[in-house]
A and B are shown apart, each in its own frame.
Chain A
Amino acid sequence: EVQLVESGGGLVQPGRSLRLSCAASGFTFDDYAMHWVRQAPGKGLEWVSGISWNSGTIDYADSVKGRFTISRDNAKNSLYLQMNSLRAEDTALYYCAKGPDGSGWSFDYWGQGTLVTVSS
Chain B
Amino acid sequence: SYELTQPPSLSVSPGQTARITCSGDALPKKFAYWYQQKSGQAPVLVIYEDIKRPSGIPERFSGSSSGTMATLTISGAQVEDEADYYCYSTDSSGNHSGVFGGGTKLTVL
Q: Which A residues are closer than 8 A to B by beta carbons?
A: 35, 37, 44-47, 50, 57-62, 95, 100, 104-113
Contacts and interface: CB of A to CB of B under 8 A. Distances in A.
Nearest to A102: B49
Interface of B: 1, 31, 33, 35, 37, 42-45, 48-49, 54, 84, 86, 88, 90, 95-103
B31 A45 contact: no
A45 B49 CA distance: 19
Given A59-B96, A100-B48, A45 B86 contact: yes
A45 B48 contact: no
A56 to B, nearest CB: 11
A107 B102 contact: no
A46 B100 CA distance: 6
A106 B97 contact: no
Nearest to A33: B96
A60 B42 CA distance: 21
